[in-house]
Structures are given as C-alpha cells and as structure tokens.
Amino acid sequence: MTAPPVVLLVDDEPHILSSLSRSLRREGWTLRTADGPTAALEILRSEAVMLIVSDQKMPDGNGLDLLAAAGACRPGIRRVLLTGWPEMLTAGELDAAGIDAVLPKPWEDTVLKETLRSLL
C-alpha cells in the first residue's frame, strides 16, 4: 500500500488552517500546516509534499512567490492559490508561478474538496 499523499496548507490565519483541516480530515490525506512561507519552505524541504494550498497575502511573503518556490523545490507538486481577490491576479502571473487552480476566499466546501481531489 502506498503512503497517503501529503497535503500542505499555508495561511497566516490559524483559524483558516483549522477550518481547512476540518474540511479535509476525511479525505485520507496526511495534512500539514504552516503559518507562512518560511515555515512552509522548511516542510517542503523535508517532506514529499504532493499538493500545496496557500493564501496570497501573508506577512512574511506572498503566495505566488511561495508556490513558485515550491515548484522549484518539489518538481511535479500541484499548486493551489487561495485568495479573496482572484481578479487582482493576471493569467500571466498565475502561469509564471505554475498555479494549477485558484480558489476564492470564502470558499465552498464542496468546491474545495473536488478541486483538490482532481489534482491528486
């Protein structure tokens, strides 16, 4: 049996991490959380993360930069950006960071689950 996929959730708001984990707890994935890009990169270096979901605006860096760095660190990783202002980002920016999907904030639970499932 293969090990369950590792999913990394990144947001500076602990309650967001907590509610994301709540939504995804039955998916059978190993969930990891980080409160910002610095902590996320540490986890990325040490663990075989397959999917990363990141907030855009965080005090120690933005989500686009983190997701671009995640791709460099773990080639083939799937990348999802969670943002309240999806319309502020251009297709060019999303492509450059290698984003697979953008999810709005607040998100619909079912859309979140379906999007992530489709990427794994």
Residue 22 contacts other proteins per CB under 8 A: yes
Place of tokens 């990394």: 8
For the window 23-52, what string marks contact with other proteins as x by the rule CB under 8 A?
x-----------------------------
Closest to other proteins by CB, 18 vs 47, is 18
The alpha-helical segments, DSSP class H, found in the chain are 14-24, 37-46, 63-73, 91-96, 109-119
Of 18, 42, 48, 114, the one binding other proteins (CB under 8 A) is 18
Site for other proteins contains 58 (CB under 8 A): yes
Q: 75: which residues sit within 8 A by CB, 6+ positions away? A: none
Burial of 5 from C-beta contacts in 10 A (0-12 / 13-18 / 19+): middle
109 binds other proteins (CB under 8 A): yes
Question: Which residues would be at the binding site for other proteins (CB under 8 A)?
Answer: 13, 15-16, 18-20, 22-23, 57-59, 84-85, 105-109, 112
